[in-house]
Structure 1
Amino acid sequence: RLKKISLDEESLAIAEEATALLDNMSYIISMLEEHPTSQKEFENQSINFSNKLKKIINSLEETVITQSLTTGNLEGEMEVDLDDILIRMSIKEIKKILDTDILKEDNLKFEMLQSVFNNEFNSQISNLTSNNLKSTISFTEVNNNSGKLVFIEDVLDREASTININREFVRPIFIDDPTVIDEISESIRIYLGGKKLSYNHKSYLIDLLKQTNSDENVFSKKKNDEMINAILKEVIDGNISINGRKSFYEIPYSDRNKKLSLSNLSTGMKSFSILSILKNSGAFNTVEYVILDEPEIHLHPEWQLKYAELIVLLSKYLNIKFLVTSHSPYFIEAIELFSMKHGIEGKVNYYKSKHTQNPNFYTIEDYTQRLSDIYDELAESMFDLQNLRDELELEEE
């Protein structure tokens, strides 16, 4: 249903600015929610957006906008859908947006926090095995500050949650799948049905891996990195190059300068390559935490030892906090012994998740002084195998 709106030149310019800003409102908010940004940057952008919109409202209030149903080509006229223009450009409707809670600073931050959980867990946050619609994450930090996040049917309950939303949040590097390195060569982020895929820990890691300089050798010249580089060279004895859509491993000792696509590396080599790229690109200098989810499962036992020593050395020399999950007593013991060897055993803590009296709840307890209990529990399956072996030997007799 097209009708004409006649605007003077000044009003037309202001209205077009309002339209453009409103067009981008949801995009701006989604960018703030999904993409890594410092707390200060987030606050500045949200305040700046709100101020811009208020300025446009003031300008519109001072300008007379006349509507005309004429069909002539008057100067300053533009063809629009009347229903659309009334929603998107009228002073009343834009004011309504300003009066809603969505642009309030704290609510924007809660929306960002909700978005992080939605993206990481595909909007399945609550416990599906419990009839209780409420799920709670309670925590106590190193400085003894405590808090909790309460979700009801996957939605963050702002009233019940006790978290300082104005605190500084940090984004960790989370590595749970070495094959993520296969996706470095993708030139653009994938879109489905015109909608951008969620920006989660995997997307963030891919972006960091792409930031390395082209043709950069994975071995730096710094003296304090010699031990780190020595371990890397035992596994990756060639250069890793990332240049635009091309990422490859230069095969050492090759007369014909052969290059192997990173996607064709073994999964074990990919595990080491990810740490190499992040280290030499400087990505480790921008984060405080690196989370490794069962890194040993893709590695030969010998390489498990090298990987354990590597993360100990990275933690020591680059001052990175590693959070490592593992079900392997072999790998955990390697972390313990290499931490002793390199003098940081006092900085390493060991934790274990335990059922509470309520089977739907877990607590994470400090087992640093009870490490033998972890070894005993994880070794139970070995005892089961030994018992089975004994039974089979008895049957043969």
Structure 2
Amino acid sequence: MQYTIEIKNIGIIDYAKVEFGGLTVIAGENDRGKSTVGKLLYSIIKSIGRYEKDLEIGEMDKIKEIIKALMSIKYHMSYFYSKYQRKLNESDRYKILKLKREFNECIDYLKKIKANIKSDNIQYSTYDDEDLKSFINRLKDNILSLNLHSNDKFRFIEIFNEIENIINKKFTKDEMIKKAFNKIVKSEFYGELSKKNTDKSYIKIYGGHEKIMDISLHKNKIKHFKLDSNVIEFGIFYDDVVYIESPTILHIHRILDMVNIWDYKVDAMPFHILDLIAKLKSAKFENKPSLLDEDNNKMKYKIIKEISSIIEGSVDYLESYEDFVYSKGLDKEKIRVRSVNIASGIKSFGILQLLAKSDYLDKNILLIIDEPEVHLHPKWQVKYAHVLVKMAKYGIPVIVSSHSPYMIQALKYFAIEEGIIDISRFYLAEKENDNIVIRNVDEEINKIFRTLSQPLREIVWGMQKKP
């Protein structure tokens, strides 16, 4: 299905209306808002399709709040024990030791539920979980049975009431999606979604002629947030999204591991980076028969095979190395190269190969690639463009932003050759009267080449004028 996003006063963009769902190409010079469209779509699709599991909104969010409250109780219990340990009788000492075990059991239970939700094992509701309520009530009864000072007792009762409120809290799906959208926009745009010095802005998405999403903002604050009920109930939009910004991500993961920031991931860096690393690492499970069986999954198999022939090898995530590794060679004798030593061009193709192996190239997953030509020689830009066109032909929705005439000309040429020009859209991001606009140029695509080749023409003309 073809969709359209319409935005006004978002990022540096004054106005844009972009259709996507097949192959979409957004061209333009630097600082023209090309990346803004991709990051915005990433934020929207991720918040709609993966708000619970990836962004930990809803039940996941509640579980984290409960664990935080329990840790607060545990801290107060430690303080209580250190303060009164000499005055405690044997019965209270025994109760406190028993409470420590119960705390750990309760937190382990919550972590297990959290892991099950994330891995799609269960549909879960804290409100209906009798085991969780039993854990909490038992902790409460045992703590309040201690010989507590009235102030300590009041504080514990206060925290248990807070936990009860968390458990009983109910959100509608659209409330959770709105919360997820706010969370990921903060990560991707650092909260600066609206164009500076502009009070009002909006984002609208259409499926065909039907409006499926309508968001209006005032000074970066959401004033109106509405989703079509079909998006929520029947999932007519994409299930997930992949955003590729740079091939250097294949060795960034090692830096992240070393500085140990995973627990603070949303605040530490844009979420799409950690999301992509997790997706690429899941390629270690690529030996599933369903994936490598040519009869059952021809499309992904062909992509893996074609990329192997281009880079003369294969990129994989090997647990034994705890790293992405390039196996150079197409025969049995291969040379293995660690991520930091893999050429950037090979990494660029390797990411697509890993996504195919990890099952993230799919008609229900939007693939967004920002300026892939940056690390590619013109010869490989053409090959990369051909792979992207073939993906679109297989039904994978692709959005590419680019400022390379080689890449854009190749995308157009192969779209015609592969018979998908009817589902291909070309846009130019440019400045008009100090406003940044993104317009469709399907009927005047040469406008892209005139814009991007202007610096070369100026150099050539300058050389010709010299005596």
Secondary structure class of the residue paired with 2:225:
coil
CA gap 1:81/1:140 in 2 versus in 1, 3 angstroms: same
Confirm or deny that 1:263 pairs with 2:329. Answer: no
Distance 1:88 1:250 in 2: 55
Mapped contact 2:314–2:350 kept (Cα < 8 A): no
Whichever residue aligns with residue 115 of structure 1, its letter is K
- Whether the 8 Å contact between 2:328 and 2:336 is mirrored in structure 1 is yes
Give the superposition deviation at 1:274: 0.9
Q: 1:136 to 1:354 in 2, by over 3 A?
A: farther
Q: Is the 8 A contact 2:326 2:338 kept in 1?
A: yes
Q: Which has the higher contact order (CA 8 A, sep 6+)?
A: 2
Q: Is structure 2 residue 186 aligned with structure 1 residue 121?
A: no
The CA RMSD over aligned residues, in Å, is 4.7
Please list the CA deviations of residues 67-90 of structure 1 after superposition, one character each: whole Å capped at 9, or x if unmatched. Answer: 56748xxxxxxxx95354122214
- How many angstroms apart in 2 are the aligned matches of 1:195 and 1:87? 28
Counterpart of 1:196 (choices 264, 271, 281) is: 264
State the match for 2:385 in structure 1.
Answer: 308
Partners of 1:313 and 1:287 in 2: CA distance = 16
- Residue 50 to residue 365, structure 1, CA distance change in 2 (3 Å): farther
- Identity between Structure 1 and Structure 2 (%): 20
- Please list, as runs of the form range in 1=range in 2, the aligned pairs for 1:4-23 lying within 5 A after superposition: 20=106
Task: State the shift of 1:291 in Å.
Answer: 0.6
Paired residues of 2:286 and 2:358 also in contact (CA < 8 A): no
**1:256: how far off?**
7.3
Alignment partner, residue 389 of structure 1: 463
The change in CA–CA distance for 1:294 and 1:49 in structure 2 (over 3 A counts) is: same
Tell which structure's C-alpha radius of gyration is larger: 1
- Structure 1 pair 68–349 and aligned structure 2 pair: CA distance change class (3 A): closer
| Worse overlay, 369-378 or 268-277 | 369-378
Give the equivalent residue in structure 2 for 1:77: none
By how many angstroms is 1:384 displaced? 1.8
1:209 is matched with 280
- Residue 285 of structure 1 aligns to a residue whose secondary structure is coil
What residue ranges of structure 2 are gaps of 5+ in the alignment?
A: 1-78
Counterpart secondary structure, 1:212: helix
Determine the structure 1 residue equivalent to 2:65. none
Separation (CA, whole Å) in 2 of partners of 1:308 and 1:94: 53
Which of 158, 161, 164 is the equivalent residue of 1:87? 158
Question: In the TM superposition, what are the counterparts of 1:136-175 in structure 2 within 5 Å?
Answer: 136-145=202-211, 147-155=213-221, 157=222, 159-164=223-228, 167=232, 168=235, 170-175=239-244
Tell me if structure 1 keeps the 8 A contact 2:178–2:225. no
Q: For structure 1, which runs of at least 5 residues remain unmatched after alignment?
A: 72-79
- Work out the CA distance in 2 between the residues paired with 1:88 and 1:335: 59
Q: CA deviation at 1:53?
A: 8.3
Distance 1:256 1:232, change over 3 A: closer
Query: In the alignment, is residue 52 of structure 1 matched against residue 129 of structure 2?
Result: yes
Please give the alpha-carbon distance, in whole angstroms, between the structure 2 residues aligned to 1:296 and 1:378. 14
TM-score in terms of structure 2 length: 0.62
* CA shift digits 1:19-67 (9 cap, x unpaired): 958x969x96xx99xx9898x98xx44xx1233389949x96xx98995
TM-fit CA distance, 1:298: 1.0
| TM superposition shift of 1:105 | 4.5
Distance 2:143 2:407 in 1: 74
Shift of 1:326: 0.9
Matches of 1:369 and 1:241 in 2, distance apart?
41
Q: What are the superposed Cα offsets for residues 98-140 of structure 1, whole Å, 9 maximum, x if unpaired?
A: 687x74544323211211212222333233xx22344433343
| Residue aligned with 1:349, SS | strand
Please tell me whether the aligned partners of residues 120 and 200 of structure 1 are also in contact (alpha carbons under 8 angstroms): yes
Question: Given the superposition, is the C-alpha separation of residues 240 and 153 from structure 1 closer, same or farther in structure 2, using an over 3 Å criterion?
Answer: same
Alignment counterpart, residue 323 of structure 1, candidates 381, 399, 404: 399
User: Structure 1 residues 189 and 142, CA, compared in 2 at 3 Å: closer, same or farther?
Assistant: farther
Hey, what does 1:284 align to over in structure 2?
361
Which runs of structure 2 are paired with 1:358-373 in the superposition (5 Å)? 359=435, 362-373=436-447
Alpha-carbon contact 2:367-2:396 (below 8 Å) kept: yes
TM-score (norm 1): 0.71
Q: Secondary structure at the match of 2:227?
A: coil
